[in-house]
Chains A and B, each alone.
Chain A
Amino acid sequence: MTTIPIHPAGKPAYNLSRQAREAEIVLDHITDDFDGNPAAMQYFYDLFRRVYIQGEALAHEGKLIGTTCIQAPDELIYAMGGTPVRLCNGSYHYDQIGADFMPAKSCSLVKATLGMLHADNPIPRIGKPDLIVNPTTCDQKKKASAMIEDMGYAVYDLEMPNVKDSEEARLYWQRSVRQFAQKLRQVTGRKLTKKNLKAAMARTSRAQAAFRTLHNFRKASPALMLGKDVFLVTNAFFFDDIERWIAAVEKLNAELAQRQADGYQAAQRRAPRILFTGSPPVFPNLKLPLLIEEAGGVVVADETCSANRMLYDMTAVDEWLLHDMVDGLADKYLKPCTCPIFTRNDDRRRRLLELAASFGVDGVVYQAFAGCQVYEMEQKSVAAALNAKGIAMLYIETDYSPDDHGQLTTRIEAFLESIKTRKRKRA
């Protein structure tokens, strides 16, 4: 890996262009090198072009609350008039800057996030967060807290248990979430009420309903759209205005409904249907999903925290009183979560098997960022569970650098080829 020296402070132009070029190459590839992009995707293409390439500043309402993980309840932030923005970054350029903070073999995503926060004119241009919420998930994110604080940000460690099955963990997490609400109250100067929380929950649940509809359309075979676009859609959720995002997804859903009625095919009938799992693809690092789809596969579902895991699970409330709503939210963020930082991964394996069955999946691609120990460690047990059901899995350890492009292409092509052969034999 070649390390580019960190530019001295006060030279944003250089910074911006490196970052922007990286984004531009990926975005151009997404838009120009594939056929049949849905017309409704134009909203997202434009959004990424404006934000990541032209460096357009993002507006926000109230206090800006940065989050480094999907476990920070957005609903609480919205309820108190703030705007959540997910800081997890996918840029190789920032990964290199962030390398200064972390040991050589650490997760690209954590490094890139640190690198972005450290940069002078970070893209996306969200403005300086009033608070950064860092749930205490994996070791690298945990240790990142102090580093982010040293950069001059206000950081809040949202304490999260690393066991999720026990009742103790559940109660501990509920308390933790309540404390977070207190903290937000200090930061925003607003009070959490039944009314504002309910409105916030209604809002996120509309986003979730829109996502689920999109998700369900991907069950169609042959596929109605490619997975690279879906990752772009869910990545936009990190920073886009939620109402605009919902409207854009609903428009996309309407187009997919039309496509389905017309019998449209976005991929060949025989195209291997891939379930994507593991370390999250975050724009511009859509390397693996793009390689899969270039090679003739189609990503029909995922189990990652930059897409499905972020938007799928919905909250139920029995009594619309504040305590029940907050506890219900806490449960929703903890209980169904399939993050590998927890002691057991039974739920993750079951979830993958369920997705594989309901989406007619032919094979699973498992991405682990080099240095992300928890994903690396779960690899074997996940593969075993899938193989036991006759589903092939390709495990890929990679990072944000483009260096392994050639090697990955070969491996993915071979994997897809073996799936096709097996399909042919079965047919």
Chain B
Amino acid sequence: MTPSKSACITPLQAVRDAVNQVDFNRFRFWFQAIGFVLFVYGGYLAIDLGSRLPFFSCGYNQEGRGGVCYLLPLQHQLGRSWPTLFSAASLAILTGFLVFAAWFIVLNKGWCGFICPLGTLQDWITALRRRLGIRYARYSQGQFAQLTRIKYILLALTILIPLGIGGGWFSRDMSPPFCLICPARMILPIFTGDFSQFTIDFSSKTAMFMTALGMAVTGLFLIGSFVKKRFFCFFCPMSALHYLISRPALLKLKKDGDKCTRCGDCYRVCDMEIKEIADDIKTTDIMTDDCTLCLKCVASCPEPGALKATFVGIPIFESTEAGFIKRMTREHAP
């Protein structure tokens, strides 16, 4: 019961209220599930959304993929021999990037929170742990400050190593370097019954090293995301790339610091342990580089209008007292 607006409720307001009071976790679960099916099995339905996608719709999932993660073609393009790289033919790199950016700009990091199959997979592993009644791990603030940089280093390597390969400094067996160590390359094809990526390539020392490293990272991914929510996203070079170009994005996470009590409810539910979401009361564009735009914080904030998601400036999902109470009451049910 919100007394101040009991007088007359416009249809638009009624829709807004309904959205703001949605059973958010359930909504997101199904949204992610559909995204997963679309990008892991979409290929069977002849869905192909191109190869400039801003999330891990892995290209190695040959049969099922509904589109390809941009990092794969990017590394191939950058790995061309330098004469080709610096010729007019490389205009394609630029147009490729623009297409990627165009995809990205629509949902911003929302691709991570709602679509990316590797992100969704981590949430499922988390759900499994929760069902088993095992508690999750957190980083200390010191660890967080150090680890959060790794994704930028990985992004730099993802760009520099292909350039080095093109320049003849590194072996072609290292190409595409990030994909070789990316857990998505090994794990996503499994969902279409393809286990072929689970091999170590003994053809050369470099190949052996890279594929073995890939295996190790995949192992780490499975264990890591069991104990830590969104373990991999913290290190994801795609996430770093996102953040660098996120300014013009259409979907935004906004905060009104005046309305925030700094209760920390949003921080508590944040899978990425982003402290600023609760403590920062000055920044209005509150999406940080680790954020996956999952909007769990918005759903868990009890203060009307303190947090909201906007699309082209229009609020589409907003923190409300009624929404908070409704969702919590649902959770409280035995």
Contact = CB atoms under 8 A, between A and B. Distances in A.
A279 to B, nearest CB: 21
Contact of B136 (A205, A261, A319): A319
Interface residues of B, number: 40
Q: Is the interface of B mostly helix, strand, loop or mixed?
A: helix
Contact of A198 (B6, B267, B332): B332
Given A205-B332, A216-B3, A320-B331, A314 B302 contact: yes
Interface stretch (B90-98, B176-184, B196-204, B321-329): B321-329
Given A216-B4, A324-B135, A313 B261 contact: yes
Interface string A19-50: 00000000000000000000000000000000
Contacts of B334: 195, 198-199
Interface stretch (A89-97, A252-260, A368-376): A252-260
A296 to B, nearest CB: 24
Contact of B130 (A165, A198, A261, A321): A321
A153 interface: no
B300 A350 contact: no
A256 B302 CA distance: 23
Interface in A316-333: 316-321, 323-324, 327-328, 331-332
B315 interface: no
Contact of A220 (B3, B269, B332): B3
Contact of B259 (A167, A205, A219, A354): A354
Contact of B332 (A202, A216, A219, A257): A202
Interface string A299-324: 00000000000000111111111011
A170 B258 CA distance: 22
B264 A335 contact: yes
Q: Is the interface of A mostly helix, strand, loop or mixed?
A: helix
B213 interface: no
B332 A316 contact: no
Nearest to B2: A216
Q: Max chain A CB contacts within 10 Å: which of B1, B133, B141?
A: B1
A353 B256 CA distance: 14
Contact of B135 (A213, A314, A321): A321
B268 A257 contact: no
A327 B2 CA distance: 30
Contacts of A320: 331
Given A219-B3, A220-B4, A331 B263 contact: yes
A192 interface: no
B136 to A, nearest CB: 7
Contact of A213 (B1, B141, B275): B1
A332 B265 CA distance: 8
Given A195-B334, A202-B332, A318 B1 contact: no
Contacts of A385: none
Contact of B1 (A199, A257, A317): A257
Interface in A377-404: none
A347 B262 contact: yes
A205 B135 contact: no
A147 interface: no
Interface string B271-291: 000010011010000000000
A301 B269 CA distance: 30
Contact of B268 (A212, A220, A316): A316
A101 interface: no
Contacts of A354: 258-259
Nearest to A202: B332
A102 interface: no
Interface residues of A, number: 44
Given A199-B334, A316-B268, A335 B1 contact: no
Given A212-B321, A253-B1, A260-B3, A347 B135 contact: no
A323 B264 CA distance: 16
Contacts of A321: 130, 133, 135
A336 B262 contact: yes
Contact of A332 (B263, B281, B296, B329): B263
A353 B269 contact: no
B268 to A, nearest CB: 5
Contact of B265 (A209, A216, A315): A315
Interface in A336-377: 336, 347, 350-351, 353-354, 357
B130 A314 contact: no
Contacts of A165: 279
A126 B211 CA distance: 71
Q: Max chain B CB contacts within 10 Å: which of A195, A199, A220, A350?
A: A350
Contacts of A257: 1, 3, 6
A324 B264 CA distance: 13
Nearest to A335: B264
Nearest to B328: A205
B149 to A, nearest CB: 19
A314 B328 contact: yes
A389 B272 CA distance: 37
Contacts of A264: none
A180 B285 CA distance: 39
Contacts of A315: 265
Interface string B236-267: 00000000000000000000011101111111
A336 B263 contact: yes
A353 B1 contact: no
A319 B3 contact: no
A354 to B, nearest CB: 6
Contacts of B300: 316, 318
A390 to B, nearest CB: 16
Contact of B258 (A209, A260, A353): A353
A347 B264 CA distance: 13
Nearest to B260: A350
B324 A314 contact: yes
A260 B6 contact: yes
Given A199-B334, A321-B135, A350 B258 contact: yes
A237 to B, nearest CB: 18
A202 B331 CA distance: 9
Contacts of B130: 319, 321
A314 B324 CA distance: 9
A167 B262 CA distance: 13
7 contacts: A198-B332, A202-B329, A219-B3, A313-B261, A317-B269, A317-B331, A318-B296
Interface of B: 1-4, 6, 130, 133, 135-136, 140-141, 257-259, 261-269, 275, 278-279, 281, 296, 300-302, 321, 324-325, 328-329, 331-334
Name the 3 nearest CB pairs between A and B, nearest first: A316-B265, A202-B332, A336-B263
Given A257-B6, A316-B302, A317-B269, 15 more contacts: A167-B140, A205-B332, A206-B329, A209-B325, A216-B2, A220-B3, A220-B4, A313-B261, A313-B302, A314-B263, A316-B265, A318-B268, A328-B268, A335-B263, A357-B258
